[in-house]
Structure 1
Amino acid sequence: MPNLAPAQRADTEKAKLEGKPMYPEGLFGLDWLRATILPVALFGIAFFTLYLRLDGVRVWRAIVLMVAIAIIALLGAKLFSLYTRGWDVRPLSQELRGGLRYPGAALAIVLLGPFLKRLILPKLPMTRFLDVLAITVCFSFALVRISCFLNGCCTGIQCDAGYCISFPKGSMAWYVQYQAGALADPSHDSHPVLPLNLLFMVGSFAVGLFLMWFDAKRSYNGQLALLYLFLHDGIKGLLEALREPYVAELQITSLSISAAGLAGLLLIAFIRRRRKDKGAGGP
């Protein structure tokens, strides 16, 4: 555009980018999400399979189950992303580069995971399946956040503290600021923002470690799954308040899932206490 004035060039460039988020290229010319999604999926399958071997579960059935769960999780994450965007469907090449929302994956797993378990691993107790799946999901989502960091997406509010990070041109953080007219020079990196993606990663990893430690101390099968809903989504829901741009549906859904997990824990604790009291009061 050599014949355009600087202001015209900026307007033309902005028009080209309008509604077309970009991501830095990762391995082999792919954006980081597509470059890392297969290794993360393989990790999740291996972790889930090896953990269930302690329960005498056949390896190949566990692998088939995890592959099926990974597929429905991705579909759920994509559908929830479309929902938060008002069902604004972009070209396939753009949809493949991002647009995945965790609450959709969580809801898909909760709703369809038990059905897949009954179909593929009918002998495995449902509650034990959910416990092991909860631990696996924690570590898998922690690894997915690495791609969020490399792509510069899922970032927080603009800040100037030492822990705040600037992301390069083409990242989602840069694109959001570019659309808002906050960048004086589009060739520069984004203004420093809170690395919310890393906080999400630490939260998922910490909950996963806690659940592994608590596994040997659990009072009943299914307790880990409820703790996962309460802790993991509770932490995520609180952190969502710092996301920029803020997406209310993400925070509301995560906090609702966390509340459901807490309600389940309290209900089961109440039922177990009543049974214990009745047993103690018997002849």
Structure 2
Amino acid sequence: MSEEHELDLVVTSHRQIADQVAQLVLQRPDGGELPKWTPGAHLDLIMEPGLVRQYSLCGEPTDLTRYKIAVLREPKSRGGSRYVHDHLSDGAVVHMRGPRNHFELDPSPRYLFIGGGIGVTPLVPMVAQAVADGADVRIEYGGRSRGSMAYLHELESEYPDRLTVHPQDEVGMIDLDSVLKVPQPDTLIYCCGPEALLQAVEERCSAWPDGALHLERFAPKELGDPIRTESFDVVLERTGKTVTVPPDKSVLEMLDEAGVFTVSSCQEGTCGTCEAVVLEGEVDHRDSLLSPAEQAANDVMYPCVSRAKSARLILDL
């Protein structure tokens, strides 16, 4: 797991860049250099006690004087996007944790980027990196309307021959059947957006090579019941403690009850903050981060949601 950084940042710019989308520029109060990041990374913003949200970095990874995020004001906000829009004005100070990247841009000669709405934010620096590396790049970008689509003008200006725009009120949804019908060799797909888009892309990529599709989710995907309905033990290798996890509690909850501090954030398997290394045992992976191949490797788990298939897990904690 990459090193975690925590520091206060000051908002040096807050402006509307699309309908209900605010862009924030964040810098250190002393103007110093920020932790390094790579395309696909996100930050935890800790805005007030109990209010922690993850936002993708969408600026220039080479410019470590500032971080840039873009946040959609959600109509049914649970508090995060509303706080960003209403309270994080110029001069406001907010605590951050990260950056963290579970959506890394893997090397490839060809990429297909599919963005839906605010899901374009992690793709913006990815596209720039892929183009700079000389890859063949296609971008399919959909949104409710042109006015709601963040960074549309920049993408149209910089990549006019690589970008196809799908404003829903003009042309309807992205024609995924056409875009994904024929698997393309040596092509990686990166997609971020609402869950309906991600599910539709997953379905249409079933015939593509394993590992071709990379997704980032805003919300956890729906899962059935856990595989193991009985309690199981979690052995903590570093401390020698053994924690029993009952059916109605998460591994993370039981770690907390045992006094084992584990950094966590989303509590729903989407941010990756609580990643734990698995030394022994079979994991019932219930996160929305790891690919099927990564889950099959069985070397890390997210104890906020994932459980055990076996009677015992040994974690590097």
TM-score (norm 1): 0.25
Name the one with the larger helix percent.
1
More strand by share: 2
* Higher normalized contact order (CA 8 Å, seq sep 6+, divided by chain length): 1
